[in-house]
Copies of this chain bind each other. A is one copy, B any other.
Amino acid sequence: MNKLNYEKTIGKWNMIEIQCCGPTDKNPFADFWIRGVFNGKNEKAAVDGFYDGDGIYCVRFMPSFEGEYKFTLSSNFPMPEDHGAFTVTRQEEGNHGPVRVQNTYHFAYEDGSPYYSIGTTCYVWHLQADRLIEQTLQNLSEFAFNKIRFCIFPKHYAYNLGEPREYPYEGRPMDSGILTVDNFYEYDGHAKGNQWDFFRFNPAYFRHIEKCIVRLQKLGIEADLILMHPYDRWGFSCMDDAADDFYLNYILARFSAYRNVWWSLANEYDLMKDKNYQNWEHYADLICRKDPYSHLRSIHNCVHFYDHTRPWITHCSIQRQDIYKSSEMVQEWRGRYKKPVVLDEIMYEGNIQYGWGNISAQEMVRRFWEATCRGGYAGHGETYLNSQDILWWSHGGKLLGESHKRFRFLHEIVCETPGTGLKLYERSSWDEVCAVPEQIGKENQYYLFYYSFMQPAFREFDMKNEEEYEVTIIDTWEMTTTKAGRKKGKFIVELPGKPYIAVQLKRAEQR
């Protein structure tokens, strides 16, 4: 390869990669650098490149506009060429661009299509064997998920004592043969026996993750990438400042140009005893500077929330702080943070020994509806014991539960909301959750009443306006909708007298 290698035409919000041959001596990750400046009519961006192994240096870019682009490269090694041009065409169907915050509390794709998050968590699904990865993707696509949370680094925890398919660095891990279900928790990032060069990446590791990100992208699924996490025995959770920055710069150079990437600075940041507030703020600053596309950014707690008012945080990524009230807190957090509230962990459907991993499918679906009707977004996860010890929450695989089958139904109902997103109606009665459109002016077009675990056999409505509404009774568990006619003013709706029922009122078409 004597010249720069890249596509001359790409679709908007796709990634263009400029490949360039370069030196393989010394430490190519640390001792050589390459950068690019991209110029279109509507945008200009400077990005860092990275070393991808085998003497190949790459610079990546995601154009946000159609038209002609030029780029110039710079590096501290001789290049065959230092500039080029390409054409950005209209994006392919189904490509709506990156997800952005819209309407303060909600999300939309950059093309304006609403994005109602139905998330799940499979922490290290991408570090499993190919067959399992395919099964995960199959399951993700079959159900309504449009976001998945997963870690860049491998996971060490109960049900996670095996080794990942490969490692992010050159070197070798501690002997995991000594681990048992009884002693694993004695090993953390400070465990002896790991030998890594934190300044020499294993590019294959990251190329594999990119393959996974692209697979998700094709399925319309956002990749909520967890950059750091505490469940570690390899030492990746307690690298020094220089290694952390080196890592984050590499991640940013490699992954930023994928439109479906979100940055989750950490899973359970508050369990990472080697990191402090200054560290997190420094990482955030680095991400803000090095990601020219401003992908969504957050940081997930175990016990204590990070200060979600920080300007770099685009949305709250919340782990419930109370067993009994999780999604029910959404409006409080909306009020406090004035940002979208994403409940990435509300306890998982399953039956393992840990309380965070053994709620019923009914309770999971209930928490999704509670969150949705209060103008937030819940996240799924699944932890059912099985003979293979393959738990969706960590490994992906096949969904064994019941809650995930109910999310497409929920999603379709939310998609009927006029404007973007729901919020709790301030005149909700104490014994109902009444959701109305977030958007001002749309309030009396649409109401969604949710009765949670309550089981009224009828409810009285007093709409206090002159509109006529189409009434639909929704069984959120059985996924049925039953038309109950057109009503106005004061009226009664007979209900099945069982839990998990909602009533939708949609303003009738003018006749």
Contact = CB atoms under 8 A, between A and B. Distances in A.
Interface string A426-440: 000111100000000
Interface of A: 322-325, 328, 350-356, 358-360, 363, 385, 429-432, 451-460, 497-499
Nearest to A328: B324
Contacts of A453: 359-360, 363
A169 to B, nearest CB: 34
Best-surrounded residue of A322, A451, A454 (most CB of chain B within 10 A): A454
Contacts of A359: 453-455
Given A353-B458, A358-B497, 19 more contacts: A322-B325, A323-B452, A351-B455, A351-B456, A351-B457, A352-B456, A353-B457, A353-B460, A354-B456, A355-B429, A355-B430, A355-B431, A355-B454, A356-B431, A358-B454, A359-B455, A360-B453, A360-B499, A385-B497
A407 to B, nearest CB: 20
Given A360-B455, A455-B351, A460-B353, A324 B325 contact: yes
Given A353-B459, A457-B353, A460-B353, A323 B363 contact: no
A449 B383 CA distance: 22
A456 B358 contact: yes
16 contacts: A322-B325, A323-B430, A351-B455, A351-B497, A354-B456, A355-B431, A355-B432, A355-B454, A356-B431, A358-B451, A358-B455, A358-B457, A359-B455, A360-B455, A360-B498, A363-B453
Contacts of A352: 456-457
What 5 A-B pairs have minimum CB-CB distances, sorted nearest first?
Answer: A355-B431, A351-B497, A351-B457, A358-B456, A358-B454
A26 to B, nearest CB: 51
A342 to B, nearest CB: 20
Contacts of A497: 351, 358, 385
Contacts of A432: 355
Number of copies: 2
B353 A323 contact: no
Tell me what chain A mostly uses at the interface: helix, strand, loop, or mixed: loop
B456 A353 contact: yes
A460 B354 CA distance: 9
A385 B353 contact: no
Nearest to A327: B324
Contacts of A322: 325
A360 B451 CA distance: 12
Nearest to A325: B324
Contact of A385 (B355, B356, B457): B457
Contacts of A385: 457, 497
A353 B501 CA distance: 13
